[in-house]
Amino acid sequence: MILTVSDSEEKILNKIKSVLACESTIEFMKITHSEKLIFRGLEVDQLQRRVTRADVVVELTKYEYDLLLYLASSPNRVFTKEQIYQHIYEDVEAEVNNRVYGLVKNLRKKIEDKPEAPRYIETIRGVGYRFRA
């Protein structure tokens, strides 16, 4: 496969899809991006990077927002701590567990009614976390 600078995005994607189509384990999904993700009392506005809970704006740090958007964009999917860390911080570090745990803990304090019994972000023991839709 040869890609040139003059190729359009669509042409490049079609070339990549044709090469990957040979792999039986690859599935293609059409991804649509909605402006807002809405879950039982929690709303994530992707255009404004704003989160509201019960119609009240929740102030989040960059990393807390990125974590929430990452999990909420794929509800009910389990993400490992390593996947979360690499997505949020875009690097690799030995202290993955502590940093992700602390980030989840802080986010829960801000979006959960009872952080000790979370409604949105569920811990999957020994694996990671998932966002409950």
Give the position of tokens 């958007």.
Answer: 69
Burial class (CB in 10 A: 0-12, 13-18, 19+), 72: buried
Strands, E assignment, the chain: 36-39, 42-45, 50-53, 56-58, 78-80, 121-124, 128-131
The predicted pLDDT at position 38 comes to 92
The predicted pLDDT at position 26 comes to 46
Residue 105 to residue 100: CA distance in whole angstroms: 8
pTM exceeding the 0.75 threshold for the entire prediction: no
The predicted pLDDT at position 31 comes to 44
Residue 99 to residue 31: CA distance in whole angstroms: 29
The predicted pLDDT at position 9 comes to 73
The predicted pLDDT at position 35 comes to 86
The predicted pLDDT at position 90 comes to 77
Q: Which residue has the higher pLDDT, 109 or 8?
A: 109
CATH classification number, 33-131, choose in 1.10.10.10, 3.30.2130.10, 3.40.50.720, 3.90.79.10: 1.10.10.10
Average pLDDT over residues 57-63: 96
Q: What's the length of the chain?
A: 133
Query: In 21-95, which ranges are continuous DSSP H helix?
Result: 62-72, 81-89
Average pLDDT over residues 40-68: 94
Helix (H) or strand (E) holding 97: helix 96-111
128 strand-pairing partners: 80, 124
Q: For 81-105, write each residue's pLDDT tens digit.
A: 999 999 998 776 667 888 899 999 9
Sequence spans of domains, the chain: 33-131
